[in-house]
Structure 1
Amino acid sequence: MDVLLIRHAPAEDREQFAQTGQADELRPLTPRGIERMQLAARGLMTLALPIERLITSPLVRAQQTAQILAPALEIRQFDTEAMLSAEVSTENLIDWLRKQPRVDGLALIGHEPNLSHLAETLLCGAATGTMPLKKGGAVLLRFSDAVGAGQGQLIWALTPGILRALAE
């Protein structure tokens, strides 16, 4: 099974958005973030990924990213899962991921530092903080057997800039 981890696209500034009195969960993508993610989505299309299922965090910025990526990944409908919000431990996230129906390809859209900690733990057995994921970046992991700590194989890790360059 392939697991594609994608960090949401650039969102409004946290401090400025907080001044609106709205909860951070409602913080949207910036117009530039939308534009950049549209290009990155076109770059992902060139990789011909076998993604069968797309699951996103319930936060607005992740939902908006999923709306941009779903057509590029040929996904008609995506799921929302609270486990992909920023407050969930890596261990709980791996347990949840292990229980997902096995498909050839699963894409997850979420937040930092959760996604990089997840990737590091799936690859190395523990999170070290050495593999940060930029906004709009993606990591593809492959599992020949069950999903678990230290069981993943890194296929690629692409910055948003590389994904956008693939679109050109």
Structure 2
Amino acid sequence: MPLSLYLIRHGIAQERSDRIADRERCLTDEGRKKTRQVAKKLFDLGLRLDLIQTSPLIRAKQTADIFESSGFDCPIEISYDLAPEGSFDLWLQWFLEWRKLGKTSLGLVGHEPDLSSWAEFLMWGQVQGALVLKKAGAIGLSVPDVEHPVGNSLMFFLIPPKLLI
């Protein structure tokens, strides 16, 4: 049975600055509001998750926490592979083992351009730079239950937040 994988970009965060480390940038008030609206709408549409993995950066963790507080009653786990320029190969090793537990739905909260690149790699086996994931947007992939899902997954949605709020 295929697994539903949701790649979710963090919400709108503080601007880059010399005064604050990138990993410490928080969601803005607007970012929290939009992310909350997106999470609630996805929950209302019937999306359920067995686990949320999030980048360790503050803005991603805050996004994951908003999903949890919007009805997604599932564990949240930090994955350093989801940090900017994290390791897709290491994450894929983890994923192939985790999938053996019989789970059906996984959410990943992270950053661009990594999430779009991961989606393209899972679908096409290579990064083409064709997908753009907006802040608080989501990509839904159906990942087949095969030994090598790279190049064999199907996208069933690419949703910018403006379509959900």
Deviation at 1:156, TM superposition (A): 1.0
Deviation at 1:160, TM superposition (A): 0.8
- Of 49, 52, 59, the match for 1:51: 49
Q: What is the DSSP-based 3-state SS (H/G/I as helix, E as strand, rest coil) of the residue aligned with 1:100?
A: helix
- Superposed CA RMSD in Å reads 1.6
Q: Distance in 2 between matches of 1:4 and 1:41?
A: 12
Find the counterpart in structure 1 of residue 107 from structure 2: 107
The residue correspondences of 1:5-154 to structure 2 (distance < 5 A) are 5-14=7-16, 18-20=17-19, 22-102=20-100, 103-146=103-146, 148-154=149-155
Q: Distance in 2 between matches of 1:23 and 1:73?
A: 31
What's the CA shift string for 1:57-112, capped at 9, x where partnerless?
00000010011111335224311111110122433433333233441100000001
Q: Distance in 1 between matches of 2:156 and 2:93?
A: 22
Taking structure 2 as the reference length, the TM-score comes to 0.89
C-alpha contact (below 8 Å) 1:11/1:61 kept by paired residues: yes
Find the counterpart in structure 2 of residue 155 from structure 1: 156
- Percent sequence identity is 33
Given residue 6 of structure 1, which amino acid in structure 2 is its aligned partner?
A: I
Deviation at 1:49, TM superposition (A): 1.6
Q: Distance in 1 between matches of 2:71 and 2:121?
A: 25
C-alpha contact (below 8 Å) 2:51/2:74 kept by paired residues: no
Given residue 12 of structure 2, which amino acid in structure 1 is its aligned partner?
A: P
Given residue 82 of structure 1, which amino acid in structure 2 is its aligned partner?
A: Y
Give the count of matched residue pairs.
Answer: 160
**Structure 1 residues not aligned, in runs of 5+:** none
Alignment CA distance shift 1:61-1:148 (3 Å): same
Deviates more, 1:58-67 or 1:46-55: 46-55
